[in-house]
Amino acid sequence: KGPVLARAIARGELVVGVRRYPRPAPPGSPTPPEPDAFDATLARELAASLGVKAVLVGLAPDERDEALRDGRVDLLVAGVPAQGARTEEGGPGIDAAPGSYDTGRGQVVALRRGAAQDEEALRGASVCVGEGSGYAGAVALRYGAQPRNYPSAVHAASAFMAGECAALAEDAQVLERLMGNEEWRFYKPVAQDLRAPADAAVRLAAGDAVSRDYIAAALRRWRADGTLAQARGARAGNLQFEITLLKDCLLYTSPSPRD
């Protein structure tokens, strides 16, 4: 283990920065932001591999660089960094373990009778995406669409259903489940087989190649033994449940997108 992981073992805790967002709640009674369940699962897997407890720290996108550099967190598990963010691999003081922990294929859905009826119509169109989604870059590069980032996939779906975007980009496993729900009969797939152009990598402070390589090896092992596939399946089920709650008006007004 390199210095980062060795320190975590010595203190008995691996402190991991993750995405966070408020869960669906009755109007007028918002809930505080909680860690993203997918990020939390992977953080706990890493901690378990070291024999320590996982401590989750929910961080907004603009807090992550500083939290990692000043030692408030050991690692970041928070999806794909926003385009141009200083936390991207190669940025000042930030390193990333090779390999992606979110390797699914994406899909884009739109209203059956809306303006975006096919891939060509996505050029210049607004597409709702969740924070840290690699599909933001995919729709921009492949179709020339304009991604609008929301704090989570749930908020992106809420904004899409409210008409804030012409389309919604998300993991196909999630959308295929949703399309089986009665309230989603008004939508249809308009683009298939999206691949994220950047990795959702575990990030750490630069200068610890040994810890970086340990994490990369763990990711390879989880891809081989099905751990990542199981985590992605659990994410799909969790998001389906939370997004289904939207029909009961349990999600308060979506926060503004992060363009």
Residues 33-43: pLDDT tens digits? Answer: 999 999 999 99
Of the pLDDT bands very low, low, confident and very high (cuts 50, 70, 90), residue 252 is very low
Instruction: State the average pLDDT for the chain.
Output: 88
Identity of the residue numbered 165:
C
How many CB atoms lie under 10 A from the CB of residue 40?
20
Nearest to 118 by CA among 194, 166, 190: 190
Residue 254 has pLDDT above 60, yes or no: no
* 177 alpha carbon, distance to own chain's centre: 18
83 close to 102: Cβ distance less than 8 angstroms: no
If you average pLDDT over residues 17-26, what whole number do you get? 88
Burial 225-246 (b: 16+ CB within 10 A, else e): eebbeebbeebbebbbebbbbb
Q: Name the burial class of residue 164, with classes exposed (0-12), middle (13-18) and buried (19+) by CB atoms within 10 angstroms of its CB.
A: middle
| Bridging pattern class, strands 106-111 and 187-194 | antiparallel
Predicted pLDDT of residue 59: 94
If you average pLDDT over residues 113-134, what whole number do you get? 92
E strand segments, 103-145:
106-111, 126-130
Predicted pLDDT of residue 169: 96
Residues 64-104: tens digit of each pLDDT: 989 998 899 999 999 998 754 443 444 458 999 999 998 88
Predicted pLDDT of residue 4: 95
Residue 247 has pLDDT above 80, yes or no: no
Helix (H) or strand (E) holding 15: strand 13-18
Predicted pLDDT of residue 170: 95
Instruction: Write down the pTM of the prediction.
Output: 0.87
Predicted pLDDT of residue 116: 87
Angle between helices 227-244 and 153-161 (to 10 degrees): 40
